[in-house]
Structure 1
Amino acid sequence: MLIPYVAFNIFYLSSNQADLRRFVTVISVLCLFLSMSMHSTIDDGIYLDGRYVLMYFGLVFGGIPTGFILLLEFMVFRFSLGGSGLLSALISTSLTFPLSIYSSHLYHKIKNKAIITVTTGILCCFIPTCVLISIYPTAVKENFLIKIVFVAVQNGVGIWLLTSLFAKSISDREMSFRYAQTEKIEAVSQVAASLVHEVRNPLTAVKGFLKLIYEAPLPREKVMQYIDISMEEIARTEAILSDYLSLSKPLSQNVEKFDLSSHLQSVVEVLMPFANMNNVVLKMEIHVNGVWINANGDKVKQALLNLIKNALEACTPNEDGLVTTKLTVQNGEAILIVSDNGVGMTKEAVERLGSIYYSTKSNGTGLGLTFSYQVIHDLEGTVKVNSVLGVGTSFIITIPLNSDIND
C-alpha cells in the first residue's frame, strides 16, 4: 500500500514534467493487483487486502476515472477468486466506494484534509467489519482480535498514512520547483545590481573618448585608437549582458550536448562584478577546453551560479576573500572544484546541505543549493563537500562526460 509513495519519491520527486494522474492510475492498478494477490484470510473465501486504501488513494489523486478503473479491476479479480466471502466483499465495496467518491470530493474542497482522511479511514474500517459480523458472525468471532487489529491498521491507518505522505511529497515537489525559480530570480537580481557598476565603467570610457573626439581635432591614428578601445569596451559589455540574459531567462527542459568549460566561463564573467562589489577575488582555472556533457544547459548554469555565488557570499566577512573555480577531466568525468576561504561550516551543517529548506544563511531558504544538488544528481554526478569552520569550504563536483564527443 505504500508503494505509490515510495515510487513517487524515487522516480518523480525531482521531475516537474510528471503526469500525476497517469502515474497514480498505473501505480494504483499495479498495487491493487499485488495487494489482492497477497491477501490474508480469516476463513475460507473471506479475504483481507488493501482494496479500500488504494481505491480511496486512486480517487483522491487520480480522479473519478482512476477510481472506476480500480473498481472494475477489483470486481474482475474478486469474482475470479470466488469463495464464501464474495457476497460480503461486494456489499462492503458497494458501500465504501460511493463514500470514497464523496470523501475525495470533499478532500479537494475543504482546508482541513486530515479530518476527511481520518474519517474515511474509520468508516472504511467500520463498514466492512459490520458487514462481516452480520453475514459471518462465527468466522469473525473466532478471529475477532486479528480482524479488528488487521482492519484498523490496514484500512484506517493505511488510508491516513498513504494519503498524508503522498500529499506531502506532491507539496514538496511543487514547492521545490516554485522556489527554485524564485531563488533564480533573487540571485539574478543581486547580480544585476553589481552589473550596473560593471557596465557603467566601459560606458564612461566610451563617453570620454567620444567627448575627446568631438571637442578637439585629433590625428586620424589617435581617433582610430580611441574608436578601437571604445569598440572593445562595448563588445565586453555586450558579452556580459548576453551571459546575464541567458541566466535570467526561464529554465527550459531541453537536454543537449554542451561545453561545460564555456558555460563556467560565462557564469564567472557574470559573477565577476558581484565579486568586485563584495571585495572578493574570483579566480578561474580551466585545464582543458571542450568539456562536453549531456545536460540541460539552463539548469547547469543556474546550478553553477548558485554554488559560486554562495562561495562569494561566504567570503564577504573576510578582508582577503578568495573564491577559486577549477575544472579538470579525469577518468571520463568532469571534475569541478569550487573553493573559498570563507566562514566554513560544521560537520553537521555539511551533512545537511542539499536538504530542502535547510540553509546556513540567516535569510536563506536552502532551495538554491537543493536545486543544484538535484541537477547534479540527475546527471548521475556526485557532490563532495570539505569544510572547516572559520577556514573555508570546497565543493568537489563530478559529472560524467559525453563519451561520443570527448573521445
Structure 2
Amino acid sequence: MPESRILIVDDNPGIITLVQEILASKHYEVLVASNGEDGLKQLRAAQLAGHPVDAVLLDVMLPGLDGFHILKQLKADADLNQVPVLLVTGVGETRNKAQGLELGADDYITKPFDSQELLARLHAVLRIRHTEQVLRQRNQELAALDEINRRVSASLDLDQVLTAALEGLERLVEAAMLAIVLYDEEEGEWVVRTSRGPEGAWLEGRIAPVTQDAAAQALRERRSVLQSAVDNSFWSEVLSISPLDLLYVPLMMHDEPIGLLTVVGHAGTLDSQSLPVLERVASSVSVAVENARLYGELTAFAEALQRSQSQLIQAEKMAAIGRLTASIAHEINNPLQAVQNSMHLATHPNLAEAERQRYLGIARQEISHLMGIVRRMLDFYRPASGIAMQVDINKAVEDALAFSNKRLQQANIQLVVRLAPDLPPVQGFTNQLTQVFLNIVINAIEALETGGQLWVGTAYHAERDQLVAAFRDNGPGLLPTTREHLFEPFFTTKPTGTGLGLAISYGIIERHGGTIEVESTPGAGATFIVRLPRHREEN
C-alpha cells in the first residue's frame, strides 16, 4: 500500500506530538489541524490539489465546533464523504462512541490509547478505504467497458467501431494519444486507422513502422508490451514528445495479429495496471473488426450478385424479344407499308383534296402506331432504375400482349382478354413485370403448336390486398415431373431453350413480394397465376 496521508484534528499539543511519533515510525505523512474549521479547510485544499487525505483522526472535544459537527459537515460533503474517520474519545464515553458511529465515523479509539492499537485500527480503516477505492475503480471500468462493448457491437461500420472504442478508452486511460493500427492486406502495410489525441486527424492513414521496438515484440509474441522512457521513436517524432511511454496491445483473430491498440503517454505515466482493461477492450475490438470486415465482404458480394442478377434479367429480356424478332419485324413492316402507300397516293396530281387529306390521315395514324411500338420496345429494353414505382398491372399485361400479338396471329391462337378495370397500382418495375408476362405468353405460344386458345385476365383480391394476373391455355399441359422443376434454372423441355426464362421470372416476382405458380393436368392445358401484393415490403 503506498504512503498514506493522515490528518490529525486535535487541540492537545501532547496528543499531536505522540500521534506524530507513532505514525512517523510507519512512514505515514502527517497533517495537523488544531480545530475543526482548519481541519475541513485542509481536507478541501488537499482534495483540490490532487493529493487527498487518506484518513482523519478526529478528537471529539475541540474548541469551537466539536468533533460531531465537523463529522456531520465532512460526511455531507460529496467530495469528502468517502474519507474514513477514526474518532478519538475519552474512557467511558460510550454515548460519544455510539453517536460518532451513527454520524458516519468508521471506527473509534479511546484515550489514553496504545500505539499498537492505534496503528492496527488505522491500518484497518485504510485497508477498507483502499478496497472501496479499488471496487469503485473496477465498477467504473466495468461500466466503461460495457459502454464500449455496447457501442462497438451496435455498428458494423469499421470506422465507427474503432472511434467508439477509443472514445471509451479516453475515459479509462490517461494518455497523450490512443491509436489503432491495422494491417492493410492490399498495401501490405500496417496503417494508423483511427487515433485520438492532438495529432489524430494527421496520424490517420500514416504507415506505422511496427518492425521497430516493442511493437514488433507485441506482434511477434502475441502479448501486450510496455516500453518506458523511449526516445527517437516514430511516436516521438509525430507527437513531439520525448521521452515517452509506449504500450502495445495486439488485436488477435484466429490466433493471428490483425492490429495493435497503441497507447502513448509522457514518460512515467503508463504502467502495467491498465493492461487488463486495455486487453478486454482489444478483445472486443478484434471481434468487431472481424465482423465489420465480414460485413464489408458480404455487402460487396451482395452488390456484385445484384449486378449479376440485373445483367441476367436484361440478357433474358433480350432473349425473349429475340424469340419474337420475326413477328415484331412484321408488326413494324405493316404500318411502314401503309405509310408508304398512303404517301404515294396522296401525291397523285389529280387527286381530290378530300382524298389527299384522308390518305395523309391514314399515314399519320400508322406513324403514331409505329411510334407506340418503338416506345413500348424502348421502355421494355431499358434496365430497371432500381427505384420501385407505381405500376399499372393491366398496362404490363397489355405491353406483353402487344409484343406477342403478331406471333399469336401467326400461330393461329385465339386470344381472350378480360382485364379488370380500375385496378389499384402495385409497387415495382413495369418492364420487369412485362418481361414475366411476356415469358408466360411465349411459353403458351410454343406449347400451342397447332393453334388453340389463350385466356388472359387480371383481378383484385380485396381480402388479401393482392393483384392477380392469370394466363390459361388449352395446350397439352405439363407432366407432374416437369411441373416440379419448371422454375429451376437451366431446366427446359425445348431443344433450343436456355431454361432461364421462368427461373428469372420466378425471381422477379419473388423480389416484388409476390408468387408465381402453375396449375396443369396433362392433356388439359396449363394456367400460370401471378399474385402481387399491392404494397411491396422493402427488405
Mapped pair 1:191 → 2:191: no
**Structure 1 residues 59-78: aligned runs within 5 Å:** none
Mapped pair 1:397 → 2:521: no
Mapped pair 1:212 → 2:374: no
Q: Match for 2:454: what amino acid?
A: V
Could you tell me how far 1:223 is from its partner in structure 2? 1.9
Mapped pair 1:376 → 2:509: yes
SS of 1:365's equivalent?
A: coil
2-structure distance, mates of 1:383, 1:92? 45
Could you tell me how far 1:191 is from its partner in structure 2? 2.5
Contact 1:272-1:282 at 8 Å conserved across structures:
no
Q: Match for 2:390: what amino acid?
A: K
Please give the per-residue CA displacement for 1:12-70, whole angstroms capped at 9, x wherever unaligned: xxxxxxxxxxxxx969xxxxxxxxxxxxxxxxxxxxxxxxxxxxxxx99xx999xx9xx
User: Which residue of structure 2 aligns with residue 248 of structure 1?
Assistant: 381
Relative to 1, partners in 2 of residues 1:199 and 1:390: Cα closer, same or farther, differing over 3 Å?
same
2-structure distance, mates of 1:186, 1:173? 20
SS of 2:513's equivalent?
A: coil
Mapped pair 1:350 → 2:512: no
Relative to 1, partners in 2 of residues 1:334 and 1:217: Cα closer, same or farther, differing over 3 Å?
same
2-structure distance, mates of 1:210, 1:299? 38
**Structure 1 residues 202-351: aligned runs within 5 Å:** 202-315=335-448, 317-318=449-450, 320-331=451-462, 332-351=465-484
1-structure distance, mates of 2:389, 2:325? 27
2-structure distance, mates of 1:26, 1:389? 53
SS of 1:195's equivalent?
A: helix
Relative to 1, partners in 2 of residues 1:170 and 1:362: Cα closer, same or farther, differing over 3 Å?
farther
SS of 2:483's equivalent?
A: helix
2-structure distance, mates of 1:293, 1:305? 18
Q: Match for 1:328: what amino acid?
A: A
SS of 1:336's equivalent?
A: strand
1-structure distance, mates of 2:437, 2:371? 21
Could you tell me how far 1:347 is from its partner in structure 2? 1.3
Could you tell me how far 1:180 is from its partner in structure 2? 2.9
Contact 1:279-1:321 at 8 Å conserved across structures:
yes
SS of 1:385's equivalent?
A: strand
Relative to 1, partners in 2 of residues 1:334 and 1:64: Cα closer, same or farther, differing over 3 Å?
farther
**Structure 1 residues 82-231: aligned runs within 5 Å:** 93-94=255-256, 177-231=310-364
SS of 2:324's equivalent?
A: helix
Could you tell me how far 1:178 is from its partner in structure 2? 4.1
Q: TM-score, normalised by structure 2?
A: 0.42
Relative to 1, partners in 2 of residues 1:92 and 1:291: Cα closer, same or farther, differing over 3 Å?
closer
1-structure distance, mates of 2:335, 2:318? 26
Relative to 1, partners in 2 of residues 1:398 and 1:389: Cα closer, same or farther, differing over 3 Å?
same
Contact 1:261-1:291 at 8 Å conserved across structures:
no
User: Which residue of structure 1 aligns with residue 283 of structure 2?
Assistant: none
Relative to 1, partners in 2 of residues 1:249 and 1:278: Cα closer, same or farther, differing over 3 Å?
farther
SS of 1:215's equivalent?
A: coil
Could you tell me how far 1:229 is from its partner in structure 2? 2.0
Could you tell me how far 1:372 is from its partner in structure 2? 1.0
Relative to 1, partners in 2 of residues 1:221 and 1:169: Cα closer, same or farther, differing over 3 Å?
closer
Could you tell me how far 1:188 is from its partner in structure 2? 1.6
1-structure distance, mates of 2:480, 2:528? 14
Contact 1:176-1:356 at 8 Å conserved across structures:
no
Contact 1:188-1:248 at 8 Å conserved across structures:
no
Relative to 1, partners in 2 of residues 1:276 and 1:203: Cα closer, same or farther, differing over 3 Å?
same
Contact 2:346-2:355 at 8 Å conserved across structures:
no
Could you tell me how far 1:373 is from its partner in structure 2? 0.9
Could you tell me how far 1:340 is from its partner in structure 2? 1.5
Contact 1:252-1:298 at 8 Å conserved across structures:
no
Could you tell me how far 1:217 is from its partner in structure 2? 1.8
Q: Match for 2:452: what amino acid?
A: G
Could you tell me how far 1:239 is from its partner in structure 2? 0.9
1-structure distance, mates of 2:486, 2:189? 41
Q: TM-score, normalised by structure 1?
A: 0.55
SS of 2:530's equivalent?
A: strand
Q: Match for 1:283: what amino acid?
A: V
SS of 1:394's equivalent?
A: strand
2-structure distance, mates of 1:273, 1:367? 24
Contact 2:346-2:357 at 8 Å conserved across structures:
no
2-structure distance, mates of 1:390, 1:208? 46
SS of 2:323's equivalent?
A: helix
User: Which residue of structure 1 aligns with residue 108 of structure 2?
Assistant: none
SS of 2:404's equivalent?
A: helix
Please give the per-residue CA displacement for 1:220-250, whole angstroms capped at 9, x wherever unaligned: 2222222222222221121122111211223
1-structure distance, mates of 2:303, 2:339? 53
1-structure distance, mates of 2:367, 2:304? 46
Q: Match for 1:342: what amino acid?
A: G
Contact 2:444-2:454 at 8 Å conserved across structures:
yes
Q: Match for 2:500: what amino acid?
A: L
More strand by percentage: 2
SS of 2:477's equivalent?
A: coil
User: Which residue of structure 1 aligns with residue 161 of structure 2?
Assistant: none
Relative to 1, partners in 2 of residues 1:216 and 1:322: Cα closer, same or farther, differing over 3 Å?
farther
2-structure distance, mates of 1:258, 1:244? 17
- Structure 2: segments with no counterpart, 5+ residues: 1-154, 158-183, 194-218, 224-251, 259-300
Contact 2:466-2:531 at 8 Å conserved across structures:
yes
Percent sequence identity is: 25
More helix by percentage: 1
